[in-house]
Amino acid sequence: MTRLNGKTAVITGGATGIGLAAAKRFIGEGAFVFIFGRRQEALDAAVAGLGSNARAVKGSVSSLPDLDRLYRAVKAERGLLDIVFANAGAGGMAKLGEITGPQIDETFDTNVKGTIFTIQEALPLMGPGGSIILTGSSAGTTGAPGLSAYSASKAAVRNLARTWAEDLKGTGIRVNVLSPGPTATELAKAALGEEGQKAYGAMTALQRMAAPAEIGAVAAFLASQDSSFMTGSEVAVDGGLAQL
């Protein structure tokens, strides 16, 4: 498929997991992709696997100078930008009564502030036909024990898409949310272990966790003109977890 032929995309959190799976899918469908992340070693490995239509820029979405450097690189090599997948995220477990200030700061700096400025800084390079994709979460709809900060931050991301769909009226730029459920990224597999993966997958109607490539496929749909009449929407890719 060549739905993204000639398009330029930015994917934050693009060196591993869902971001890397989306980068592979975007490139497979004809896009040129800039991945952005904090770990140079992971970025280098990702670009080596993605090939000549990928570039990597090191930085944090919570840093405006880092984002400025990212978009200067995009402008210098490609001129304009068609797709932004604001995928970088953070969050840890802490029950009510155990939540700390630094945990709140890290989660909201990445998931909310980082998402806002990832998109705001990209807009001068975007035009009609542009697609913005925000990574939400099933936890933003259902809540999850011990994940107060993370769940609240993802609920905020959902509202950003609704608000920005209004703000972007008349520009031809669409903004939608992709909300995964349990996904078998390398990080999740290491954190959960084999039994934890089975238990987490069993919470879904499909009785399993998603493969990152399944999430990446939906990101490609939202990036393409196949979703041309969608904006302000949320697409749940969660095995039914938040739907039933």
Strands in 8-12's sheet, in edge-to-edge order, are: 54-58, 32-37, 8-12, 83-86, 131-135, 174-180, 234-237
- Please check whether residue 33 is in contact with residue 54, taking contact to mean a CB–CB distance below 8 angstroms: yes
235 sits in which H/E element: strand 234-237
Q: If you ran DSSP here, which 8-state letter would residue 210 be given? A: B
| Active-site annotation holds for 113 | no
How many residues would you count in the chain?
244
Lookup result for tokens 């001068």: 124
Task: In whole angstroms, give the CA distance from residue 119 to residue 208.
Answer: 32
**Residues in Cβ contact with 147 at an 8 Å cutoff, skipping those fewer than 6 apart:** 91, 93, 139
**Residues in Cβ contact with 216 at an 8 Å cutoff, skipping those fewer than 6 apart:** 18, 21, 22, 23, 24, 25, 26
Q: Which of the following is catalytic: 7, 24, 71, 154?
A: 154
- Which of 201, 197, 180, 175 is closest to 188 using CA atoms? 197
- Which of 161, 35, 122 is closest to 87 using CA atoms? 35
> What does the block give as tokens for 175?
């903004």
| Active-site annotation holds for 71 | no
- Which of 155, 161, 2, 156 is closest to 85 using CA atoms? 161
Q: Which of the following is catalytic: 7, 24, 71, 150?
A: 150
The residues annotated as belonging to the active site are 150, 154
